[in-house]
Structure 1
Amino acid sequence: MDQPNATASRSGAPVVGSISALVAADGALSLGDSGIAVKILQKRLALRGYGLTGTGYFGNLTDIAVTDYQLKHGLKPDGIVGPVTARSIDDENASTPTTPQVVKPAAGGRPPWLIYGLSLLGTKEGAGSKDNPAIIDWAEEEGGDIAANYKHDATPWCALFANHILTKCDLKGTETLWALDFAGKWPAVRLSGPALGAFAPMKRPGGGHITVVAGKTSAGLIAGLGGNQGDAVSIRGFPRDRLDRGFWWPAKHPLPTRIGFDTLPVVSTAGASINEA
């Protein structure tokens, strides 16, 4: 006789006490939340080897753990525990022993701007002559020269995206729309090599491009998270020798503990970058 699923009733509804049930009752869990649902989530992730102690507060460490779990399980890496992520965590804990596994967040940990940037994956330009209001809003929120000069999403917006994710983390970017300004023309330090979250400016025909290191590909490329990559926020592969303007890190944020191509986690991409204009 089949045993009942630990996270779903015979009717298909989440079992009381599961993360799925708590999310169904109170909504998705994300950065800044607190309470018993967050504590249960942290304890479930701790069983998977993440260093969470069940404080009940959804802080940066929990955000990093959730995003890492999502990346490893083929889920949208937005750091938000909605129905799909909740069900995955419930199902995995129900079907595996409770002995903690040795699982660590990705090398060096994902900095907050990378975590936030990953949550924007799939944001696209408006169709035809239409603008995506979300992208236009980013420019208005930046203010200054960016707001004054950015009016339509047909204008290259890789530097807008890079500034936006820094601003959301209370960090100062270049405050311009010029991608190559990320090569030292902002409060940043140059790293000796790639690191998760490092900003990597590069030349392209007719201008420049800025992408954020999100990992590496199985083909040996740097996986870069960026705006205006195929007219969308996406992760694309870049040859290492193309990223010749250095790897840059916000000066006011603690430096990464692991630097170098070999330290980067392997991630999936939408293919090699062929259109950044």
Structure 2
Amino acid sequence: MRIANLAGRAVLVDGGLAVDVETASGGRFGSDPQAVYREWEAFREWATAADLPAGTAFEVAALGAPVPAPRQVFAIGLNYRDHAAESGFEVPEGLPPVFTKFVTSITGPVTEVTLPPGGHTDWEVELVAVIGKAARNVAEEDAWGHVAGLTVGQDISERVSQLAGPVPQFSLGKSFPGFAPTGPWVVTPDEFADPADLELKSAINGEEVQKGRTRDLIFSVPALVARLSAVLPLLPGDLVFTGTPAGVGLGRTPQRWLTAGDELVSQIEGIGELRQRFI
């Protein structure tokens, strides 16, 4: 099942066509894309069993963030060994580095992003897990049962403010407007042969700059749900950006940054792609 936000309305994407949730459910579920996750169990049961009407064609550019207003956004740092190495940090143990991307940075899959003046803006393709069932002290072996689905995310990062002292400002440096594109839709785990082993990659102007597999995560999606929920409740509709593999601009010699006119394309196997143009 694929759940999307088409022009502000919740839709199911079936065979490449959009089925309006409110219309198809006879009003049982509303049009708010975020509300789907507050009623996730009932929604999934209905959507799985429903005899859906014919969908309509749509432009991907009309899609918004599939989870537009999460109450909590968790972002995980240094969750691939090769990225930790290129960043000059030790591989984390126990609890991974956690920060947030503020909700106002969240956008849909096809956008224009204004570069901050004087900054070093970097790219980080990431698998994003969407929480569907409240999680508190969840065992790792039970964690997939709390995940509604997976989507593509970009943890776009402005490195100057992120790393400015005396204390780094990770959350601010990663939360400029448009710095958290997500989408194109949320895909439920049952759609994948193995939701724990997906290829992810990104390219700038057609040049591949990142490529990895989520099987190489230091803390897998279930491990993150378990460790985070041991500290605080995870709420339906929360997002977990799971970290990026090697290939970011910060780790290159010489370092490389996004510039006006660049197009960044981010892809994850079995989900789809994001497309950002920088101005």
- TM-score normalised by structure 1 residue count: 0.25
Higher alpha-carbon Rg: 1
